[in-house]
Amino acid sequence: MRVGWAGVFAVLGVQLLCQSGYPKGDALHRASAITCTEGGSDRVSMRSTDRLPEASGTARVERRGGTTDIEIELTSMKPAMLFGGDYNTYVLWIVPPRGRAENLGEVLLHGDRATHRASTPATTFAILISAEPHYLVSSPSAFLILENKPDPQGRAIDQPLVVGVYNFARSTLADQKEAKGRVNSEVRQAFTAVRLAERAGAENFANEELASARRALQDTLALWKERKDRTEIAAQARETVRLAVAAQHLAQERALLVLGSTEGVGGGKGETEGRDARGGSSYRR
């Protein structure tokens, strides 16, 4: 595979590290873990951050047969698209004491409310909800919206956050209006996923995979323009996201291989557009 130095430098630095799921070391969020016992059930209050201070909710956790079921109910929510830039939707995470955060799926809004059910084999974890570019992200962004209230007896967990990668127009939705009816962001997620793959250097390192994602995006837009059934549009958009994420990850892996096999490569300057200067979050107590 022949790759020019321009392609290599396109994925150097902060952007490559963050989009690969390894955020900067100073972008850590300290969360409080809850523990579920077999046969037990509990309701956990969620607390908001300054990203969306009006938001509130509860999480019902129940442990049965080696699986922990989680059901969240949220109120006073606002669409993630209002952050602008690359943000489009919300994702539910559980964060174990060791290992990576687990993406438990997209949280869909209907007006200012949302409900979401998921399950995990974990017994001890923190619960986070963050604004994200699309439903298939692998690490939480710095735009945390809600988390479980701390347990005085709970274990502290430090979770790295993705900082300096995603563009945004505003850092808080405190003064924004709530949505009316179902919030549909699938087409925007497809657009953004392809854009992130391009910014990760897929043009140079995963050209065929990027081409597949672009074709899928065109199919998504065609369905949207023809006003096809919403379910059909959403399914095609989600496939576009899947293909774009595959192209992005492959590009990053190949770029790292090139860098690892080349001696004397300078650091270069990574992309800094749209950085979140705040990094972490401030909380409403």
User: For residue 128, what are its two tokens?
Assistant: 């986070």
Residues 6+ away with beta carbon under 8 Å from 254: 1, 205, 206
- Total residue length of the chain: 285
pLDDT of 264 reads 53
d(CA 62, CA 203): 45
pLDDT of 206 reads 98
CB 52 within 8 A of CB 171: no
- Describe the crossing of helices 207-225 and 230-260 by its angle, rounded to 10 degrees: 160
pLDDT of 123 reads 95
Enter the pTM of the model.
0.85
Helix (H) or strand (E) holding 235: helix 230-260
Amino acid identity at 24: K
d(CA 152, CA 149): 10
At residue 55, φ and ψ (nearest 5 deg) are -65, 150
User: For residue 109, what are its two tokens?
Assistant: 């809004």
Q: Tell me the pLDDT of the chain (285 aa) as tens digits.
A: 555 544 445 444 434 444 444 444 458 999 999 999 888 899 999 999 999 999 999 999 999 999 999 999 999 999 999 999 999 999 999 999 988 999 999 999 999 999 999 999 999 999 999 999 999 999 999 999 999 998 888 789 999 999 999 999 999 999 999 998 999 999 999 999 999 999 999 999 999 999 999 999 999 999 999 999 999 999 999 999 999 999 999 999 999 998 877 645 454 443 434 444 333 343 343
